[in-house]
Amino acid sequence: MTNDAPSVKEAKQVPDTISPETHARQRQLLEELSNAFGPTGHEGPVRAIVRRELTPLVDDVETDGIGSVIARIGDETEGVPRIMIAGHMDEVGLMVRQITAEGYLTIQTLGGWLDQSLINQRWVVMTRNGPIPGLTGIKTVHVMQPDARTQVFKKENMFIDVGAKNKEDAEQRLGIRPGDPVAPDSRFQEMAGGELYLGKAWDDRAGVAGLIEIARAIRESADPLPATVYLVATVQEEVGLRGAHTSSFHVMPDIGLNLESGVAGDYPGITKDEAQEELGKGPTVFLHDSSMIPNLRLRDFIVDTAADLEMPLQFNVLSGYGEDGAEMQKAGSGAPSINIAIPTRYLHSHNGIIHRDDFANAVRLVTAVLHRLTPDAVTNLTTFD
């Protein structure tokens, strides 16, 4: 921690505990965002929620050329640090490839799916006439040969049954066209005990909800920020960090903070060598993934902030993965960047699980970090001589 950074506990910029009212508000926001339709490249319903929530909390909101929402808190004054916080609106989904003569839909995946997670699942096809329910069909076990019963179904052989009589019926009555987006049909549910939230698209609606809650915390704080903050809800992360690429070059941040869903490693079948996060033990700082290595001084800055908040903090080292922080890191002449995550079970499937305290503490942590990023602190983090 740099000497010029104020003590978070002394300044009381964030509460020491999470109130029932805060949990209730955050639960409602997380539920709405999780349930929203928004496969990669088709984030419109999520964007509408983000703009509705952020507009009264920030000084300016705009949308870039491919659909990312860029909200600004503070003036664009020369010499004032520019801090970018990103979370992506898109979820993994599908696209209609073609309609067969019998009225079934063949598919193109949007984002990374395991083939076995696609089969016999409910979906929503968003047509020009509105949503249509569908199901990825599965051959019944009664007619399969014994050796075929243990084989993984390949996505190239999968189809969606939308109840159409034939191709003409699918096109004319249901309004389906090639290119229509498809999303998992899964609904938010509070699990037994009330602390765990079950839903789809936590990657990365948890991060998007975090952007909104951070904006609210800043608005409600009596302490002014020492930097200009850009809260960016990006698009098309799941197919190559595309929204983060364009928005990072628009903002040109001095520091980049990415808010993501983490990779929990606390369930059967996964090892600590693969992922180290656990639900309920605090937000996570990524130390390595396939797209970015973080700035270690920024890591220490965040660790010190969490310590002052007496907040649990985890670390994760992954061999794969990719996230928007990589694009912030590479924008312009480069910016120290880091990925802060909310631990999540069962990523890139119809259902995932997060812990409400991990989410709330991630919001508290990033809000506190923003209050510490003074011009001197940013200079210290961005100077390598």
Strand ranges across the sheet with 337-342: 60-63, 69-73, 228-234, 82-88, 255-261, 337-342, 284-288, 314-317
The pair of three-digit structure tokens given for residue 57, joined into one six-digit string: 């909390």
Q: CA 382, 380, 301, 218 torsion: positive or negative? A: negative
237 annotated active-site: yes
Could you give the CA distance from residue 383 to residue 385 in angstroms, rounded to a whole number?
6
Measured CA angle at 30 (ends 354, 314), to 5 deg = 35
* Residue 186 DSSP one-character state: -
Per the CB < 8 A criterion, the answer to whether 188 and 30 are in contact is: yes
Query: How buried is 157 (Cβ within 10 angstroms: 0-12 exposed, 13-18 middle, 19+ buried)?
Result: exposed
Please name the helix (run of DSSP H) or strand (run of DSSP E) that holds residue 357, with its range, or none: helix 356-372
Amino acid identity at 153:
F
What single string gives the DSSP state of each residue in 17-60? S--HHHHHHHHHHHHHHHHS--BTT--HHHHHHHHHHHGGGSSE
CA dist list (Å): 190 to 195, 264, 282, 300? 7, 18, 19, 34
CA dist list (Å): 176 to 98, 109, 128, 155, 245? 10, 17, 7, 20, 32
- Catalytically annotated residue among 237, 260, 277, 327: 237
Could you give the CA distance from residue 262 to residue 5 in angstroms, rounded to a whole number?
28
Which residues contact residue 204 at a Cβ distance below 8 angstroms, ignoring those fewer than 6 apart?
A: 87, 88, 89, 90, 91, 237, 259, 260, 261
Could you give the CA distance from residue 249 to residue 86 in angstroms, rounded to a whole number?
13
CA dist list (Å): 174 to 114, 163, 169? 29, 9, 7
Amino acid identity at 78:
E
Could you give the CA distance from residue 228 to residue 75 in angstroms, rounded to a whole number?
6
> Catalytic residue positions?
237
